[in-house]
Structures are given as structure tokens and as C-alpha cells.
Amino acid sequence: MLFTLLLVLVFWFLHYQWKRRHLYHHASKIPGSRGWPIVGNLFQFTGDSDETHDKILRYLDACKDISKAWMGPTLVCGIVKPEYLAKCFMSPSTTARLYFDRKVTDFLGQGLLTAPIPVWKRHRKIIHPFFSDKIINRFVEVFGRQSITLGEQLEKYLGQKNVDIFEIVRNCTLDISFETMLGVQLNVQQGESELGRWTDRLLEIMFLRLFNFWYQYDFIFKWTKLHKENQLLLKKYQRYLEEIIGKKGKVVKSEFVVLLDFLLDLSSSGTKITTEEILDEVKTFVIGSFDTTALLSCFTITMLGMHPDVQNRVYEEVLTVLGPERTPDYQDLPSLKYTELVLKETLRLFPPSPCLERLVLDDLPLDGGTVSLNHSVLNCFFRRYNASKGFGGYAGGTPCPSKYRILAGPSTNRHPFTYMPFSAGPMNCIGRKYGIMSTKTIIAILIRKFKFRTEYKTVDDIKLGAKLILRPRDGFKCSFDLR
């Protein structure tokens, strides 16, 4: 009996390998380690989230335009060359995602970030009108009001050094997200909320699952303490959002359209979107907006503290456009052109998401090899922006990709896929304008009140780690003086 079982397993393994011969053939042409049998390169990336982050970057540094790694049976290609990225993101064969997203669907459900392609296409079409100028422009009042409260909270830290401002700023963006997405005024800035800490830990667990061999498989992961913690946090998160939504009718409603009402109205009018799908989308947009906006705001404040000349120009522009006291409205924001350049440069160096994945559904020829049927392509944002020669369009001669420099205008020497912090192609970020407008408002309000300083001297001093989003390991070392 044992012999028969072994024989069946051998034949099954040989048949499995034979079916994948096309994949193995093309993979042999792509630079990178072959890995170990069954587990691939997973053991090369084990450790805590910071160690794993460093190991991934070192692995990508060893290869240039394209590299490969086997995550168990899944082949993942790291793409760096902009010309390759253009093919990957614009090809109709690369509009799906697989490897990363199967680890986050428990958290986000099947919202736009994680939904299968048929669901994604339907939801994208349904949600797109919500992010029109007419609707988003009315959010600027919320951005401004919450930013003023943020300034009052930061006053409590005057005179202190090395203040990690992330939690403080994130409380502001949490209030913004819940008011614009759910129509609920949480007033987190006046109290406390565990939502941010829950998010941090859930993202860290997801990151560890991606690169730890034992956590790759659900039947093993379910027996770990990490799984129990993950499930407990998910239940708390779900209960929290359901309670907030349940209380919505008791709270004074905003005068503008919010995402939850927008989706509920569509559902009641006959549009095919279920209550569960609505909850998944609300969860996706709330989480996707408050964490990323907080990070962009904090990194921008840090960069302004590091570069007083840039800070002075932003301050002068804000005074010219808004004066010393007026809160911005939507008509003011396009006039803050230099401020927007500062945000874009910050995004180049510190994109909130360090990587983005696409699943190749058919053969995709690249100069470095063919990315073959049914395996994923990993685009590493952070490594590309800091290593690419595509940023040689700066004035001043030799390019220095990790130097903070503000472009006076678009560089004709730069490939368009060298810079894509909001992704590109059909699956680009639908909320990119919302993120830029809210961050621009936060910076405009704060810079009139404070002079920013930081203990960091250069961009390279900021050691980054990843929990699916980039964060400085030592926090945002900021301090403030009243103007």
C-alpha cells in the first residue's frame, strides 16, 4: 500500500512538472536564483518585516532590469526597467493579480484592490463617478477643518525633539476618511482610536505571510498564534466598522455625497452591488485613504524640515494664494503648483506602496526573457525610483536619484513609466486626486502655523521598513516652531 501511494505521488509530481515545462523554460532565461525544490527562494526572505524588506532589496540589487524569485511554486519577477514596466502595465494580459492579494482578501474582502477581474471591472465602473471633480471638490472643506484641528494637536509638541508625528497626522486623516467616505464624524483627534494600530498589525501580518514559508499555506498558518491574532483583529475591525455604519443615522449627516450613501443609493436604484460588496469597498477606501495620505503628509513635512529653502518657497506660495488666515477651497488648490511639485517629489522617493503586482495571463515577451503563462510579475516601486537613471532630467548635471530635487517641469528625457506612484494603465489608483488634494490642504494649513525641522540630514539617513506600506524604522523625527 505504501509503495503504491509513493508511486502515485511520484507520477503526480512528474505530471505536474511536465505541465509547467513551458514556465520552467522561459524562467531559465531570466536572471535570478533557481531556489530550492518546492520552497523556492522563500527561505532567503525569512525574518521580521524589516529584515525581509532588506533582503528583498539586496536580492533585487543583484539583478538589474529584471530578476526572478520562486515563492514556493509561484514565479515572481522583479521588473525595474521602465520599458518592461510599460509592457506589463499596458498589456491586456496583465490586468489581474494573484500572489499578494490572496493574503489580503480576509482583511479587505473583494474591494477594488483585491477583487477578481470581472468584479473589479463592474465596481470600477460603478465607483468612478464618485471621484468626479464635482463630488471631491466639496470635500476640501472637510480637509481644511480637520487640518486646522491637526495644527492645534501639534501645538502640544512645541519645543519637543524627535516627535514621531505619524500617529498624530493619521488621526487627522482617519477623521477625514470617515467623514468623506462614511459621513460620520469620529473626532479621533480629540480622543483615541485603536483602528490605526489594528491596521498596522494586520498589514505586518500580511507582509510576513508573503515571505515566510510556513505562513504561505493556509492549513499550516491556521495552527499558528499569528493566525489567532489575525482573526481577532479582523473581527474587531469588522465589528468596529459595522457599529460606525449602524450609528450613521444618529449622527448629523454631511451636506455632501459620501461614498457609503453613493453606493447605497446605487444599490436601492437597482444597480447590481450587494451589501457585502458595499462594505468591502468602504473598507478598502477608508483604509486606502487614511494610511497613505498620512504617510505622504509625514514624509513631506520631514522633507520640508530637511530642506529649508524648499519649505520657504512652499510657505511663500501658500501666503500668496491664501493669505495669512484663509482656509483653502477647491479653487485655490490648483494654484499651489510648487506645493504639488514637492508632493510629487516626495512620492518619488517614498511611495506609500513599495511594490505592485500583476498576474500575466499569457506570454509577455521582454528583452530579458518571456514572462510566461500564469505567474505573477512584481513591480518594485521603491527600488526603481532610487536606482533608475531615468531621473537624469534634473538641472545640475549628474543625476542623484536619492537627492531631493524639485523638477521645474516634465523631463523630456524621462520615460513615462519611470515615475508612477499611483500605478498606471487600466488599474491605476482611482483616488489619486483625492489623495493629492487632501495632502496639499494639510500642508498648506500647517506651514502657515509652523516651521518644520527634522533630525534627519539626508534622504539616505531615513532607513525604511515595509508592512505592505513604507515607513521609517525610527519614526518621523520632527519638531516644530511657531511662525
What is the residue extent of each domain of the chain?
Answer: 120-352+426-483
Query: Is 399 a residue whose pLDDT tops 70?
Result: no
- State how far the Cα of 169 lies from the Cα of 174, in Å rounded to an integer: 9
- State how far the Cα of 259 lies from the Cα of 265, in Å rounded to an integer: 10
CA atoms within 13 A on the CB side of 54: 8
State residue 6's pLDDT score: 83
Smallest CA-to-CA distance from 441 within 302, 321, 271, 359 is with: 321
Count H helices and E strands in the chain, helices first. Answer: 18, 11
As a whole number, the mean pLDDT across the chain is: 80
Report the pLDDT averaged over residues 316-337: 93
State residue 100's pLDDT score: 53
**Phi and psi, residue 479, nearest 5°:** -150, 165
Q: pLDDT confidence of 106, banded at 50, 70, 90?
A: low
Q: Look at the alpha carbons of 59, 62, 64, 67 in this order and tell me if their dihedral is positive or negative.
A: negative
State residue 394's pLDDT score: 35
Highest mean pLDDT among 92-101, 283-292, 400-409, 473-482: 473-482
∠ CA(395), CA(399), CA(400), 5° rounding?
A: 115
Cell numbers for 459, please give them.
534622504
State residue 407's pLDDT score: 58
Report the pLDDT averaged over residues 257-281: 78
Cell numbers for 53, please give them.
524588506
Q: pLDDT confidence of 302, banded at 50, 70, 90?
A: very high
- State how far the Cα of 418 lies from the Cα of 111, in Å rounded to an integer: 27
State residue 250's pLDDT score: 47
**Cα 471 off chain centre by:** 11
State residue 11's pLDDT score: 84
Contact (CB, 8 A) for 341 and 307: no
Contact (CB, 8 A) for 377 and 88: yes
State residue 444's pLDDT score: 96
DSSP type of residue 103: G
Highest mean pLDDT among 221-235, 275-289, 322-336: 322-336
Report the pLDDT averaged over residues 248-268: 68
Task: For domain 120-352+426-483, say whether CATH 1.10.630.10 is its number.
Answer: yes
State residue 247's pLDDT score: 60
The amino acid occupying position 396 is G
CA distances from 191 to 187, 194, 245, 246, 252 (A): 7, 10, 19, 20, 19
State residue 217's pLDDT score: 73
Highest mean pLDDT among 127-136, 309-318, 389-398: 309-318
For the stretch 129-161, pLDDT in tens is 888 888 899 999 999 999 999 999 999 999 898
Query: Is 395 a residue whose pLDDT tops 70?
Result: no
Report the pLDDT averaged over residues 36-64: 75
The percentage of residues in the chain with a pLDDT greater than 70, rounded to a whole number, is 83
Cell numbers for 186, please give them.
469620529
Residue with more model confidence, 393 or 232: 232
Range in 63-77, 401-415, 469-483 the model is least confident about: 401-415
- State how far the Cα of 156 lies from the Cα of 163, in Å rounded to an integer: 11
State residue 65's pLDDT score: 77
